[in-house]
Amino acid sequence: MSSALAAEQDSLPLRQVLPVALAAMGVVFGDIGTSPLYTMKEVFNGPHAVPVTPNNVLGILSLVFWAITIVVSLKYVVYIMRADNRGEGGIMALTSLALRTTQSPRLAGAMSAVGLFGAALFYGDGVITPAISVLSAVEGLEVATPAFKPFVIPSALVVLVLLFFIQSKGTARVGAVFGPVMLFWFATLGGLGIWNILRHPAVLEAVNPAYALFFFVQNKGLGFLALGAVVLAITGGEALYADMGHFGRRPIKLAWFGFVFPALYLNYLGQGALILDDPSAVKNPFYLMAPEPLLYPMVGLATLATIIASQAVISGAFSLTKQAVQLGYSPRIHIVHTSEKEVGQIYVPNVNWLLLGAVIALVIGFKSSSALASAYGIAVTLTMMIDTLLAFMVVRSLWHWRLGTAVVFVAVFFTVDFAFFSANSVKILDGGWFPLAMGLVVHTLLMTWKRGRAALTERMQVDTMPLDLFIQSMAYDPPHRVEGTGVFMTTNPDGVPRSLLHNMLHNKVLHERVVLVNVITEDIPYVPASECIRVEALAHGFYRVFLRYGFKDDPDIPAALARCAPHGLPFELMDSSFFLGRENLIPSNGSVLSLWRLRLFIVMFRNAHSAADFFCIPANRVVEFGTQIEL
């Protein structure tokens, strides 16, 4: 979605925005919408359990309200959602915007590394969210009767395995029901909340921030550690910004302020009212607040809601992987398009099975949602801190805020983020290490590929013959020319591709038309078709074609070349051959990379997906030339 389209959407009448807001409800709010399943339970039962007293209950409810208000409503919905990269949101888009604010290579490298680490942490979230959400939903069976306790973990595993197995089928059909189901889910949350608030209306006073302040004064260190559980109420808040490109700013704001936020907080208030009436209800206040005849239907509805929440996170991991490939942070990987109409409907098999393996390991290893809660939150709060720092660069340099205003902006939000992160840091040894370790591994892989590709490109350019000299030599010693078009992929448009030199060396011929294709990925989501292609006609039948794509576009080289006729380059696929290089990397002592990183890069390079498949080039039109390169 472009900024112009966003402005047009803002002017639409409410009746046209409501259907989009309903659709957003099924994707954007799934993670934060399932937080009531476990947040209050963890506050009063977790490793730093808060004593159940009226003041503490009101204090926690006040903290939950202001945490959601400050972090989700103000920080993300009101401010950061304005920082869109041509309509797209998320940490990758925010990083791209922040990089435009500096000319310093060192500062740009630091911001890129920090933003990339925030993106890498998303994979840890992509593992924990399905595990803790589905487990907490299925644990409702245990509330119904202790006899179901042995079946909780097997039931959760069955649900999770089925969830990951259906990914290859695509989510277009199932996604059509996501919105109505989540609408019913939030209506149920609000209804149960009101039902219990009527029994103890005094909990409505919790919106007063004085209760939160008094809670800290009264509980001191324990009150600070309680933030590690309170933060569970805002996990998923970043998704509002990350999914902005799918639905737009206005529908998300409308759904959040008009329905989701009130329903969520009414449910938290209802759980608080239940605990005040019956302190023993802290063992699982979410399910115990429901009338007994509705307990089993609530388990089913909660399980469906957690599946939807997990689906959104899994799809986000697929999308992030595709962006990483396009931006040059990941090797080419097999990506399947599951819909002919929706470009964003993709399935990445390798990522899907790796996530499933990690989720199964988490469920078996931690065994309960309470144990998993220790691993949850640390990655989310660290990502939120990174978002705040990058947003500071945007508001200061791109939006031209005064320094004092920008400092106040970052100070308020960073203080809140840091408080939550600090409270969660004590849980690192209890499970918080997992998302950090996973994020570090993913970040290492992404940075290794980026640095390795840069080193490889630099190494290949050293041995590259200048293109202009090569073309000039055609006049003095012309090779034999054959009919048709030879297409050569190149990362250096000013040099001669190795595959072209190998073709001359081995076949002693050139096609009558030689097309050098250079693919450029911009730091914007989509490049308009009118701006995608640029053709330069050179001497002796040579052409240079520049193809620009956004990081959410799907490169299709034959389709792009077929549109080159108006640019003076007619193209016929069946009369063309695509020449690709297949490099065999050999480690050398003079490499700019450390030995461990070099070996890791070589392994990643050898396992990268075929360039022909990635660029949609038919296999029967491809000729590959192998070469050895010392790196």
pLDDT digits (tens, 9 = 90+) for 432-486: 888 889 889 999 999 999 999 888 888 887 778 888 988 888 878 888 889 999 9
- What is the average pLDDT across 117-122? 88
DSSP state string for 364-421 = HHH-SHHHHHTTSSHHHHHHHHHHHHHHHHIIIIIS---HHHHHHHHHHHHHHHHHHH
- Structure-token match 């209306």, residue found: 201
Give φ, ψ of 359 to 5 degrees: -65, -45
| 493 φ, ψ (degrees, to nearest 5) | -65, -15
Evaluate if residue 250 carries a pLDDT over 90.
Answer: no
End-to-end CA distance of the chain: 41
Residue in 356, 401, 459 with CA at minimum distance from that of residue 127 = 356
State the Cα angle at 379 between 368 and 311, rounded to 5°: 65
Q: Above 60 in pLDDT, residue 7?
A: no
Q: Which residue has the higher pLDDT, 276 or 319?
A: 276
**Radius of gyration over every alpha carbon of the chain, rounded to an integer in angstroms:** 27
Per-residue pLDDT for 360 more than 90?
yes
Whole-number pLDDT of residue 198: 93
Q: 293-316: string of b/e by CB count within 10 Å (b at 16+)?
A: eebeebbebbbbbbbbbbbbbbbb
DSSP assignment of 261-298 equals: HHHHHHHHHHHHHHHHH-GGGGGSHHHHTS-GGGHHHH
Name residue 243's amino acid.
D
Residues 6+ apart with CB under 8 A from 574: 621
74: left (phi > 0), else alpha (psi -120 to 50), else beta? alpha
Mean pLDDT over each residue of the chain, to the nearest integer: 87
Structure-token pair, residue 527: 């490049």
* Domain ranges, ordered by start, for the chain: 11-447, 465-630
Q: Rounded mean pLDDT of 395-416? A: 89
Average pLDDT for residues 24-43, to the nearest whole number?
Answer: 88
pLDDT band at 532 (very low <50, low <70, confident <90, very high): very high
> Do the Cβ atoms of 514 and 488 come closer than 8 Å?
yes
At residue 3, does pLDDT exceed 80? no
Give CA–CA dist 609/291, Å, rounded: 54
**What is the rounded CA–CA span in Å between residue 498 and residue 53?**
74
For the stretch 302-337, pLDDT in tens is: 988 888 888 888 888 888 888 888 888 889 888 887
Close Cβ partners of 75 (under 8 Å, ≥ 6 residues apart): 384, 387, 388, 413
With a cut of 50, say whether residue 5 has pLDDT above it: no
Task: Report pLDDT digits (tens) over 478-522.
Answer: 888 899 999 999 888 888 898 888 888 888 889 999 999 999 988
Amino acid letter, residue 296 = Y
So what's the pLDDT on residue 543? Answer: 94
What is the pLDDT, as a whole number, of residue 4?
Answer: 43
- Within 8 A by CB and 6+ apart from 507, the residues are none
- Which pLDDT tens digit goes with each residue over 142-176? 877 777 888 889 988 999 999 888 887 766 555 56
Give, in order, the Cα–Cα distances in Å from 474 to each of 471, 479, 501, 504, 578.
Answer: 5, 7, 13, 12, 21
pLDDT at 339: 63
Sequence letter at residue 11: S
Question: What strand order describes the sheet that includes 622-630?
Answer: 533-537, 542-549, 509-521, 480-489, 576-586, 622-630
**CB atoms near residue 16 (< 10 Å):** 10
8 Å CB contact between 338 and 322? no
Residue 118, H or E segment? helix 105-138
Q: What is the pTM of this model?
A: 0.85
What average pLDDT score do residues 219-235 get? 91
What is the spatial distance between Cα 304 and Cα 137, in angstroms, rounded to a whole number?
Answer: 9
Q: Which pLDDT tens digit goes with each residue over 544-561?
A: 999 999 888 889 999 999
For the domain with range 11-447, which CATH number is right: 1.20.1740.10, 3.40.50.2300, 1.10.10.350, 3.30.1130.10?
A: 1.20.1740.10
Which among 272, 264, 271 is positioned nearest to 289, based on CA atoms? 271
